């Protein structure tokens, strides 16, 4: 998808629809929050570039994996690389809280996609993601 501000909303909607289609509705609140944060950070770090969103449920380890690739490549200079890493971590502050609350993991590194860039991934265990934001009592 294009690296634009609207991409975060489009990605959140796509994640919501995909999880609903596969009966994974309890994972929606955490997954939608994470997807939006990943896409917004990708757009912020590489405005006007391309973003790639991948969503995969792994039955073997009962977890949801979200991956976003952006075109912002790693810097060769150590100071620039450290500054860029700090900017990415700061941009994903809220996402880190969600991942921690769900008992998940996250990280980033070089993208394997054509053209390079950065791949940021999140793994959310089903049980933790389902408990992240329980349905409101009626």
Is 40:83 a contact under the CB 8 Å cutoff? no
Tokens representing 89 are 């971590």
Residue 19 to residue 74: CA distance in whole angstroms = 32
pLDDT digits (tens, 9 = 90+) for 71-125: 877 777 888 878 878 888 898 999 999 999 999 999 988 777 666 788 899 999 9
CA distances from 116 to 11, 21, 88 (A): 21, 31, 17
pLDDT tens digits, 13-58: 999 999 999 999 999 999 999 999 999 998 888 888 889 999 999 9
The β-bridge partners of 106 are 122
pTM: 0.89
Strand partners, 118: 70, 110
């Amino acid at each position: 998808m294009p690296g634009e501000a609207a991409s975060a909303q489009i990605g959140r909607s796509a994640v919501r629809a995909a999880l609903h289609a596969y009966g994974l509705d309890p994972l929606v609140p955490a997954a939608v929050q994470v997807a939006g944060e990943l896409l917004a950070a990708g757009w912020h770090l590489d405005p006007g570039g391309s973003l790639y969103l991948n969503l995969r449920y792994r039955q073997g380890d009962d977890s949801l994996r979200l991956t976003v690739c952006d075109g912002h490549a790693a810097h060769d200079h150590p100071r620039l690389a450290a500054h860029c890493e700090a900017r990415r971590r700061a941009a994903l502050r809220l996402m880190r809280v969600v991942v921690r609350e769900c008992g998940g993991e996250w990280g980033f590194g070089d993208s394997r996609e054509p053209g390079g860039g950065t791949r940021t991934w999140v793994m959310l265990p089903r049980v933790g993601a389902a408990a992240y934001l329980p349905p409101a009592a009626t």
